[in-house]
Amino acid sequence: MNRCLHILLLVFAFVGVSNKHCYAQGAPSDREVDRSIVRALSFLAAQQSPKGAWQLKNPSRGLDAASTTSLAVMAFMAAGHVPGEGPYGEQMERGVRWVLSNQRPSDGLFQHRAGTGPMYTHGICTLMLAEVAGMVDASLSARVRSGLEKAILLILRAQAVPKGPDHAGGWRYHASSNDSDLSVTGWQLLALRAAKNIGCDVPAEAIEDAVSYVNKCAHKNGGFSYHPDHGVNATRSGTGILCLEICGEHHAPATMRAADYLLARPLTYNDGFFFYGVYYCTVGMFQVGGRHWKITRDHITSLLLSKQQPNGSWNPQDGSEASFGPIYATSMSVLALAVEYQYLPIYQR
């Protein structure tokens, strides 16, 4: 299905036009998911600032407006919209330009507001540029490529900082950090993989070293932890699954143990960092496929649609994400719900 036709189907979803597939009783249909996405994008479109940013409610925990803007741009892309074209094309371009304006010339770091943990924002922004690089017109393409190359160099330098054996290959809050965690590593690895997919100079050993770190966070009984030998939960397990899957470790033993863990202990609305988990668990299990994806798809889409607000947004209630606000939560939800469209290259199996 081409992009234009799919966009039309999303619009027609409001009046009941959609593809039809059979799911377990009570699970949302394609039509219901399409309509949910249309409402969410309408909400996001109304929230953009005149300068092009989508603001975070309260910048904290390493995220700022540059990361929120990047997530919003990717949400539109995941639903089949293209920068410079269609109803949201101009807004998407303004968002990309705004993110690029917040890249430091000195080292290539993306950071709108100084604070703790800028590598979260940096990884998310770099991923967005890698995904959008082949979709922007000539007037923006060179700038995107230049910004992406600088961003990748910073990620590679940060990985090369000397670290102990339990932390080698990964990343943490700062480019100078000498330790690592799975959460920050996830975004950098996605960014590197997406950049490599479009021909950027990403050494194979950088991917291999990152995969090695992710495997250190795998538990023999299933699931992934924040650090090696720390506690396991659903969100971290989704992160580990996606990292291994998009790096070619398809159905690796650690992946399948974590996938079984998620079926036994699925993500719940009361889990910490729920919307973060929604993104990683959904996209990760989509890569796994089969019954693992079918069960996860039905569970998380049902949960998300039941929590969507009348204005099309999602509003995080848990203390771990409450300060991030609805733009963050809505973008992450759309990225999860739209995974089957496979418009973002990183989603493609």
* Sign for the pseudo-dihedral over CA of 342, 69, 137, 346: negative
pTM: 0.92
* Sign for the pseudo-dihedral over CA of 317, 328, 63, 230: positive
Query: How much is the pLDDT for 227?
Result: 94
Does residue 291 or residue 111 have the better pLDDT? 291
- Kindly state whether residue 177 falls inside one of the protein's structural domains: yes
Question: Could you report the per-residue pLDDT of 134-187, keeping only the tens digit for each?
Answer: 999 998 999 999 999 999 999 999 999 999 999 999 999 999 999 999 999 999
Query: How much is the pLDDT for 311?
Result: 98
Query: How much is the pLDDT for 12?
Result: 41
Residues composing the chain: 349
Distance in angstroms (rounded) separating the CA atoms of residues 254 and 174: 28
Residue 136, judged by CB atoms within 10 A of its CB (0-12, 13-18, 19+), counts as: buried
- Tally the domains of the chain: 1
Interhelix angle 182-197/204-216, nearest 10 degrees: 150
Question: Could you report the per-residue pLDDT of 228-261, keeping only the tens digit for each?
Answer: 988 999 999 999 999 999 999 999 999 999 999 9
**Low-confidence winner among 59-68, 132-141, 333-342 (lowest mean pLDDT):** 59-68
- Residue 317's pLDDT band, with cuts at 50, 70 and 90, is confident
Query: How much is the pLDDT for 21?
Result: 34
| 229 Rama class: left (phi>0) / alpha (psi -120 to 50) / beta | left
Name the nearest CA neighbour of 186 among 171, 199, 176, 200: 171
Question: Could you report the per-residue pLDDT of 261-316, keeping only the tens digit for each?
Answer: 999 999 999 898 999 999 999 999 999 999 999 999 999 999 999 999 999 999 99
- Kindly state whether residue 29 falls inside one of the protein's structural domains: no
Distance in angstroms (rounded) separating the CA atoms of residues 288 and 311: 33
Give the residue-averaged pLDDT of 16-30.
54
Residue 70 has pLDDT above 80, yes or no: yes
Give the residue-averaged pLDDT of 50-69.
87
Query: How much is the pLDDT for 22?
Result: 35
Q: How far is CA 68 from CA 38, 65, 106, 164, 311, in A?
A: 19, 5, 23, 32, 19
Residue 9 has pLDDT above 50, yes or no: no
Question: Could you report the per-residue pLDDT of 72-103, keeping only the tens digit for each?
Answer: 999 999 999 999 999 999 999 999 999 999 99
Per DSSP, the three-state class of 65 is helix
Does residue 262 or residue 114 have the better pLDDT? 262
Does residue 348 or residue 136 have the better pLDDT? 136
Does residue 304 or residue 8 have the better pLDDT? 304
- Kindly state whether residue 51 falls inside one of the protein's structural domains: yes
Q: Which domain holds residue 61?
A: 3-9+36-347
- Residue 15's pLDDT band, with cuts at 50, 70 and 90, is very low
Name the nearest CA neighbour of 318 among 251, 269, 249, 252: 269
- Residue 322's pLDDT band, with cuts at 50, 70 and 90, is confident
- Kindly state whether residue 18 falls inside one of the protein's structural domains: no
Residue 199 has pLDDT above 60, yes or no: yes
Per DSSP, the three-state class of 169 is coil
Query: How much is the pLDDT for 302?
Result: 97
- Kindly state whether residue 63 falls inside one of the protein's structural domains: yes
Residue 2 has pLDDT above 70, yes or no: no
- Kindly state whether residue 140 falls inside one of the protein's structural domains: yes
Residue 25 has pLDDT above 70, yes or no: no
- Kindly state whether residue 31 falls inside one of the protein's structural domains: no
CATH number of the domain enclosing 120: 1.50.10.20
Query: How much is the pLDDT for 3?
Result: 54
- Residue 17's pLDDT band, with cuts at 50, 70 and 90, is very low
Give the residue-averaged pLDDT of 102-113.
92
- Residue 24's pLDDT band, with cuts at 50, 70 and 90, is very low
Residue 37 identity (one-letter amino acid): I
Kindly calculate the radius of gyration of the chain based on its CA atoms and give it in whole angstroms: 19
- Residue 58's pLDDT band, with cuts at 50, 70 and 90, is confident
